[in-house]
Amino acid sequence: MCGRYAFFAGKEKIQEAFGVSSDDEQLFEPNFNASPGSYLPVVLLGKARIKKIGPLRWGLIPSWSKDPSDAYSMINARSETLLEKPSFKKPFQRQRCIVPASGFYEWQKMGKAKIPYYIRALDQEVMGFAGLFDKWEDPKGESLFTFTIITTPANDLLQPLHDRMPVILKKKDYADWLDPLYEDYDILQAMLKPYPNERMSLYRVSDQVNKAENNGPELIRPVV
């Protein structure tokens, strides 16, 4: 799964990586412990097919949901069942997005303890997680945009930690993934593969990352 990640590349690198621009400086502030329920930068194709980046809340609420409390159980979507689950079928067909990230965390169970590790791509300073978004409206007509991160079976590097990992898209696939008019679902599904072992690294980090309120560069420093 993917329950925490880091985002600290900075405005210029994010805008260059995804071909977006924004004057909202808060969007690009470093976040070393992005957690569910937070508003985080997400790239999507908006009206008039213009690519944009904006703050969406992590934890998908389907447009048809009557109870928004389900959001925390929908922080991830399994790649294998996107066309089967009612919560994800429509977003997969029309509302795909990309979640910028510098790296992510995973925990290894050792007895009763959970040991945190930081994982990153060696060939991408800014990764793009495959995501889905949806728009939910409350009874008063107030809109809430939320997102989920798609996961796939873990590669051999991550298997000792967890059996799932976030989908890291290839840059050449960004345009088709974001395009709501692109309907070759076989090709879209083929994008949702584990990232290659040899292009990733992981190392143990401080237990401080276990608490969502902790946030700083010390969270990604290696612990020997």
Instruction: Please state which architecture CATH assigns to domain 5-102+124-153+166-196.
Output: Alpha-Beta Complex (3.90)
CA distance 146 to 36: 10
Residue with tokens 């977006």: 20
Catalytic, 2? Answer yes
Indicate the domain borders of the chain: 5-102+124-153+166-196
Q: For the whole model, what pTM was predicted? A: 0.95
Burial (CB count within 10 angstroms: exposed 0-12, middle 13-18, buried 19+), residue 147: buried
Choosing from 25, 80, 84, 106, the catalytic residue is: 106
Catalytic, 84? Answer no
Q: What is the pLDDT along the chain (224 residues), one digit of tens a residue?
A: 789 999 999 999 999 999 999 989 999 999 999 999 999 999 999 877 889 999 999 999 999 998 777 666 799 999 999 999 999 999 999 999 999 999 999 999 988 899 999 999 999 999 999 999 999 998 888 899 999 999 999 999 999 999 999 999 999 999 999 999 999 999 999 999 999 999 999 999 999 999 999 999 999 999 98
